[in-house]
Amino acid sequence: MRTWQVERRKRTRHLIELGGLIAKAGIVELTGDDRATIYGALLWMADKLQSDQGEHARELWAAKGKQAFAVERATDAPTISQERPWDRA
């Protein structure tokens, strides 16, 4: 496989994993899959991270994420995005 193909696959996997985090957090359902709202929220995060409060926000968000991953591993409970409407019926 050529180098550019390997790099492209790595980039694609990385982007898919990032999209998975958005789904895992329940953002898709909470926004009604409104791409403008999701993009706006991400832009707001970027602005926050670039502000004088950026380091504090990063610490809070990292702690919250680590805690959520730990709870998920400990309980093996599905996240919001793993629940499907037909599972609730």
Per-residue pLDDT of the chain (89 residues; tens, 9 = 90+): 899 999 999 999 999 999 999 999 999 999 999 999 999 999 999 999 999 999 999 999 999 999 999 998 898 766 555 555 555 54
* H helices present in the chain, as ranges: 3-24, 27-30, 35-50, 54-75, 85-88
Sign of the C-alpha dihedral, residues 35, 44, 16, 88? Answer: negative
Query: Which residues 6+ apart lie within 8 Å of 82 measured at CB?
Result: 24
**How many Å apart are CA 38 and CA 22, to the nearest integer?**
9
Domain chopping of the chain, boundaries: 3-77
Look up the pTM and report it.
0.72
**How many Å apart are CA 6 and CA 65, to the nearest integer?**
29
